[in-house]
Amino acid sequence: MHLSDLWFLAIAVLWAGYFILEGFDFGVGILLPFVARDDAERRVMINAIGPVWDGNEVWLLTAGGATFAAFPAWYASLFSAFYLPLLLIVVALIIRGVAFEYRGKRDHPRWRAGWDACIFLGSLLPALLWGVAFANILRGIPLAGLPESGAQHYTGNLFTLLNPYGLLGGLSTLLLFIAHGGLFLELKTSGALRARARSVASLAGLAAIVAGGGFLAWTEASYRHNAGNGTGIASVTLAALAALALIAAVLAGRAGRGGRAFAASTLGIGAAVAALFTALYPDVLPSTISAALSLTTANAASTAKSLMVMTVVAAIFLPLVLAYQAWTYWVFRRRLVTPATSDPGHSAL
């Protein structure tokens, strides 16, 4: 395996971690106005993700940094083509982060309601747009210029990205994250709030199976780039595993087995991301103009020396980061209880 292939695999793992971890707190944010019945329940929902949401975003920063360092041509072309969607995602994440910090600064219903709306929108937009973006990466975009020259440029526009396949990808991630967030709430809350979260997770899970299954089937039928390199079977197998895991998550959730349901949902998201990256390989950004213009793990990668330095640094520091985040989840593992009164002094959010 070349180092460029190793870093393609590493980036896939980083995106899988991001979608698994940030996916459930996106889902919680989207469910905020629908599952909670009063401010006390909304505070419980926010406090369920309060200790971990900012740590989950580190996976996005790491994935972006790894792409920039390992595949600079891929990084540059992505920002050229997806500039507006990525800008909307960044703005949404900023507003969402500010809302988490400022929601509890004043004890006033309108103040809290405004920031709750920001949390909802700041979770909804990324959950939808990430699916649109990744679908278009798989489908390919109109790229012109020679990959070796580093002068690749996007010749489409925003509406080029809003194709049926891209919109189905966005709907799939949106529903998947809602279901994942509902299962997380089922693990972290109690009483009526927990029951409502379980019910919503079941409904969203069924919808996610239909949309996500259709998206994965469409991907394997039309946008798999590796028919001749021996990884096609792996891609199909991973897609089937993702579908089965989501079905298992819904069944376990309906049976009241929250832990198994969340584990199956986690497996489903991870397998789906793995299937998409396996279907994409060896391309990293296909061109719809000509296959000769596509960016691949070979022509988009940094120099071998750069990749070697990155590999050594990652081998040293990545285990430390993973250990710290695992410790954080262990410390804040307990189930939250909805307070009898809505006293702002009991919540940092």
**Predicted local distance difference test score (pLDDT) of residue 154:** 77
Q: Is the pLDDT of residue 150 over 90?
A: no
**Predicted local distance difference test score (pLDDT) of residue 157:** 78
Confidence tier at 147 by pLDDT (50, 70, 90): low
Q: Is the pLDDT of residue 208 over 60?
A: yes
Confidence tier at 226 by pLDDT (50, 70, 90): low
Q: Is the pLDDT of residue 164 over 80?
A: yes
In total, how many domains does the chain have?
A: 1
HSE on the CB side for 74, CA within 13 Å? 28
Q: What is the mean pLDDT of residues 300-306?
A: 90
Q: Is the pLDDT of residue 345 over 50?
A: no
Q: Is residue 349 part of a domain?
A: no
Residues counted in the chain: 349
Q: What is the mean pLDDT of residues 30-51?
A: 93
Q: Is residue 141 part of a domain?
A: yes
Q: Is residue 177 part of a domain?
A: yes
Rounded to the nearest 10°, the torsion over CA 204, 210, 213, 216 is: -90
Q: Is residue 151 part of a domain?
A: yes
- Residue 140 region by backbone torsions, left for phi larger than 0, else alpha for psi between -120 and 50, else beta: left
Q: Is residue 343 part of a domain?
A: no
Q: Is residue 344 part of a domain?
A: no
Task: Name the phi and psi angles at 153, rounded to 5.
Answer: -140, 150
Confidence tier at 230 by pLDDT (50, 70, 90): low
Confidence tier at 79 by pLDDT (50, 70, 90): confident
**Which structural domain range is residue 244 located in?**
3-338
With a CB cutoff of 8 Å and minimum separation 6, the contacts of 272 are 176, 212, 216, 238, 239, 242
Q: Is residue 348 part of a domain?
A: no
Q: What is the mean pLDDT of residues 247-274?
A: 94
Confidence tier at 342 by pLDDT (50, 70, 90): very low
**Predicted local distance difference test score (pLDDT) of residue 70:** 93
Sign of the C-alpha dihedral computed for residues 235, 238, 240 and 242 taken in this order? negative
Q: Note if the pTM is more than 0.75.
A: yes
